[in-house]
Structure 1
Amino acid sequence: MSRNWHGGGQGMSGTRRYYIAFIGLLATFALAACSEAPSQPLRVGINPWPGYAPLFLAADQGFFSDEGVDVELVELSSLADVRRAFERGQTDGMASSLVEVLDADRNSHRAPMIALMADYSNGADVILAKRGITDIAELKGQRIGLEPSSLNRFILARALAQGGLSMDDVEIVSLPQVGLQEAVEMGTVDAVVTYPPISTGIEQTGLVAQVFSSADIPGEVSDVVSFNRETASRRSADIEAFVRAWGHAVDLIRTNRQESYALIGRHIGMSADELEDAYQGIEIISADRQDEFLRPGGPLASGILALGAILWPGEAGEDAKSVSRFFRGSARTSWVSVE
């Protein structure tokens, strides 16, 4: 008597039954391997700037790991490099100023969304001019070195406006931040727009004096960490953990400043004393203060509106409704709601 069933497609040979069981076993192993495979790290582009430095501290001290998120900080030399890496999909997020957020939104399909308010500059971003130039009005007709496609444009425009000048009244010399000190020493520029650690080295040459700083435009120069929309939607829990780790790092700086500065200095090339001075002009924003800045109609939203009007005058500007796209899914709301 045959053990095989026939007719109506209901029978199955022993060989076929074993084959299907074998395929099922392989599928089970494959699914198990996938579920156990670690997720890719969150890759965040960052350049040397004390305002972002708690991220280095969070990595060095294991705060990211403690919160259960794998983070790779991709160190780049300039904000322009950070933005380009983000636009090309080489990073998931970027630590940057609002200028890079707006530029990436205009120039790519990455749709940056702000997850974290890192800091605002209250004197650290500066315009340094050669000796003999004592105020902004005297910059008329002078050569100004700055990093193109960066916050430097905004700072210069705001400074010139206070001196009764416009961008048309000066000669812009586009240079990377790392090339500004050489330009000052060679005399190929008359002033530069810069920030620590580059500004520290330039001031130490004794060839320049400060004629403007972000303290003259309080609250207008903000730095953030943003992630592209797809990452924001898919990895909400990881980004929330990222913000918590940031908070631990900020707390450590406050409770153990000198040790924290020593660790940070190794990444951005500044001594503890230089960092102490730099942080006099930088307000680091802790995790428990994020709502204050990320709320609808808050300082960041207002900053984006003002920034767009200065960087792209004459164009149809942002409005409160359109600005909201940068904040949906922030770490202080629900990432799951991101479409």
Structure 2
Amino acid sequence: MTASLPRRRFLRAGLGTTTLLLGGGSGCSSSRREPIKFATNPWPGYDPLYVAREKGFFDEAGLNVSLVDLTSLGASRRAFERGQVDGCGATLVELLLAADQSGIRPQIAAVVDYSNGADVVIGSNTLAGPADLRGLRVAIEPGTLHIQLLALALASVKLTVRDVLLVPMPQNAMPAAFADGQVAAAVCFPPESNRLLEKNGKVLFHSGQVPGEVVDTLVFDSSFVARRGPEVQAFVLAYYRAMEFMEQHADEAHAIMARRENIDVAELRATLAGLHYVSRQEQRALLAPDGPVARSLDHLQGAMMTLAQLRQSRSLKDFLIARDLIAASGVAA
């Protein structure tokens, strides 16, 4: 999704869980409990969590939250699959892979943003567009939304991923690989995308050309939601409280976020221009059975099945999204 920050279970836990979540309000004791361990990678969509921590919103909600800083989406997903964290920031790619490869039941607590130009395919400035990638080496981080965006870029010129040479590497290794000529292009987002542009890179394709296709979510394990559903709801509400703070006190919030991303405020704001934060009020429509997330999931799943990255297909309802809970959170005070 935009600038160079790496991203990329509320779902049906059964009627009993939904009742617990909806009926329990915040349901949090004022005493500090076992931590909620939540993994994130650098990406502005998740940064309101750090605003919530710094401003004490988690504490005020009675939550003991441990934010686990990891370097990539893949690292966050692996920690989630291994049970090292209770939840993580994830794109739909991580959601599908976690469900397919680990047997856990990930549940989406909220969609936090969608990429609106932040995620990009960057190539040498000698390339005119995606069509020129045929036969060239393209860097992607395996198991991330990179494959989704690359497939979309190539499909726009009637190519497929089989028409390029995929070079797997962590996103933070891409600037050096590009500068050294090891790859002709890379799929990435800020801050690494900014580094590639500084090395005479050129944007060949961006997520703004496929609006609503690339989303970021807050995801929890279904067993955790079953045990501690009211805290998950309070966690999401603290996120949205941080979002409101960001709207009212942009300078202070952006300074917190920039420190988290290890970039300056100007670069952060440039990155924010490439994404759309999803409000509480937008959740119900976004997560409707025939809504944008369901359509995006189906589109992505088809590409991943073609690449043999998934063993079976799923629909959004298989992830048991508690849309009623999320909508209730959206109107909560």
- TM-score, normalization: structure 1? 0.83
Letter in 2 for 1:164: K
Q: Do residues 275 (structure 1) and 275 (structure 2) align?
A: no
Instruction: Find the residue that maps to 2:273 and give its secondary structure.
Output: helix
Q: 1:110 to 1:316 in 2, by over 3 A?
A: closer
Q: Do residues 102 (structure 1) and 105 (structure 2) align?
A: no
Of 206, 211, 223, which residue of structure 1 is paired with 2:216? 223
Alpha-carbon separation, structure 1, partners of 2:121 and 2:59: 39
**Corresponding residue for residue 60 of structure 1:** 54
1:103 CA drift (Å): 0.2
Question: Is the 8 Å Cα contact of residues 122 and 281 (structure 1) preserved in structure 2?
Answer: yes
Instruction: Find the residue that maps to 2:225 and give its secondary structure.
Output: helix
Question: Is the 8 Å Cα contact of residues 148 and 174 (structure 1) preserved in structure 2?
Answer: yes
Higher relative contact order (CA 8 A, sep 6+): 2
**Corresponding residue for residue 214 of structure 1:** 207
Q: Do residues 306 (structure 1) and 306 (structure 2) align?
A: no
Alpha-carbon separation, structure 2, partners of 1:140 and 1:323: 33
Of 161, 171, 182, which residue of structure 1 is paired with 2:176? 182
Range that drifts further, 234-243 or 280-289 = 280-289
Question: Is the 8 Å Cα contact of residues 265 and 272 (structure 1) preserved in structure 2?
Answer: yes
**Corresponding residue for residue 8 of structure 1:** none
Q: How does 1:144-223 map to 2 (within 5 A)?
A: 144-205=138-199, 207-223=200-216
1:257-287: CA deviations, max 9, x gaps?
A: 1221111111111211111111111001122
Alpha-carbon separation, structure 2, partners of 1:243 and 1:316: 31
**Corresponding residue for residue 84 of structure 2:** 90
Instruction: Find the residue that maps to 1:235 and give its secondary structure.
Output: helix
Select the structure of larger CA radius of gyration: 1
Question: Is the 8 Å Cα contact of residues 261 and 275 (structure 1) preserved in structure 2?
Answer: yes
Aligned residues: 298
Question: Is the 8 Å Cα contact of residues 289 and 316 (structure 2) preserved in structure 1?
Answer: no
**Corresponding residue for residue 15 of structure 1:** none
Alpha-carbon separation, structure 2, partners of 1:296 and 1:66: 34
Alpha-carbon separation, structure 2, partners of 1:200 and 1:55: 24
Instruction: Find the residue that maps to 1:212 and give its secondary structure.
Output: strand
1:56 CA drift (Å): 1.2
Alpha-carbon separation, structure 2, partners of 1:267 and 1:159: 30
**Corresponding residue for residue 118 of structure 1:** 112
Range that drifts further, 35-44 or 272-281 = 35-44
1:235-275: CA deviations, max 9, x gaps?
A: 11101111111111111221221221111111111211111
**Corresponding residue for residue 16 of structure 2:** none
**Corresponding residue for residue 265 of structure 1:** 258
Question: For structure 1, which runs of at least 5 residues remain unmatched after alignment?
Answer: 1-34
Alpha-carbon separation, structure 2, partners of 1:51 and 1:128: 21
